Amino acid sequence: MPFSPHKISFLLALISGALLSISSSSWFTAWIGLELNLMSFIPLMSSKKNQLPTEASLKYFLIQALGSAIIILSSTLTLLHPKLALLSISLALLLKLGAAPFHSWFPQVMEGLNWPQAIILMTIQKLAPMFLISYLSMSLYTYSSIFLAAITSASVGALGGINQTSLRKILSYSSINHMSWMLIAMLINETSWMVYFFLYALIATSVALYFSSTQSYFFAHLINSNTTPHSKIISILSLYSLGGMPPFSGFIPKWIIVQEMITASFFLALLILLASSLVTLYFYIRLTLSSISVSCPQSKWNLVSFYPPISISSPVSSMVNLFGLLIPSALLMI
């Protein structure tokens, strides 16, 4: 995604639409912000040189238009049946968010995008629906729908990424799994899910920027890429951090949510979320072991190995994903 003037203007309009939805005082203004956000993201996704981003943008537009139509339909039910209207609005926002069981479009759209667009889809595009879900008054119907969506997202995000070799699909199913932690956190504490979302967005962005710098879209690209061993180790540790392995940075938000769930007596949900996290760590470790054991094939007479220079994303990725290692020493100093 080159930084041309019209791309920058669409990106600013996209951020403005998300902020308008977050700061709105009525559902009509929130709907306008969602539509502005949608119509600004479509030009950023489409490309004349490749049909896959164009196909992904069409799928994304149809799904988001369906969610907006459900929100408009539910607004007519507000006076007749307020609880049913809130339930339908929550389901529409979960559809826009890509949470299970409305998740099937999310990996397909992610597969057709380049890494810069994938970063926007995983981070900025989730801001407005997540905040609007947190603004809902928690009736029994709304509470049950969010809780069931969180449990389903944990299971789907863990099991869906097991047999995947596409890095974009792995990150998409990982995003669905992380969404379950944020949805559960919404039911307990509003501040904790914001902290989780901020740290997840930071880690996922650093991982995707590293993959973008090496032009890696499948795991075979990581194995066969002509990169330094230092860069390969950074990619492995970044995936571990995204999976939430202690003591990396991705473990910190999960640690916070685990403490909140224990305090709120969400023991069964905590068991399911922890089991799903173990499954995600399993396929991360299985993929990274092959990257360690298999090196790039080179000719025997090529005595001098050439490695491209390390891009700026490598130190940024290592700093973001490894600062969790410094926390125990910082606590000892205190």
Whether 33 is covered by a domain: the verdict is yes
pTM (2 d.p.): 0.88
Whether 300 is covered by a domain: the verdict is no
Whether 303 is covered by a domain: the verdict is no
Q: Which residue has the higher pLDDT, 300 or 320?
A: 320
What are the pLDDT digits (tens) for 94-121? 999 999 899 999 999 999 999 999 999 9
Whether 304 is covered by a domain: the verdict is no
Q: How does 83-121 read in b/e, with b if 16+ C-beta sit within 10 Å?
A: eebbbbbbbbbbbbbbbbebbebbbebbbbbbbbbbbbb
Whether 45 is covered by a domain: the verdict is yes
AA identity, residue 196: Y
What are the pLDDT digits (tens) for 11-65? 999 999 999 999 998 888 999 999 999 999 999 988 777 778 888 999 999 999 9
Q: How many domains does the chain have?
A: 1
Whether 253 is covered by a domain: the verdict is yes
pLDDT at 235 over 80: no
Whether 54 is covered by a domain: the verdict is yes
**Domain of 83?**
5-295+309-333
Whether 114 is covered by a domain: the verdict is yes
Lowest-pLDDT choice from 55-59, 189-193, 245-249: 245-249
Q: Stretch 297-319: mean pLDDT, rounded?
A: 50
Please state, in angstroms and rounded to a whole number, the distance separating the CA atoms of residues 235 and 81. Answer: 51
> What does the pLDDT read at residue 303?
45
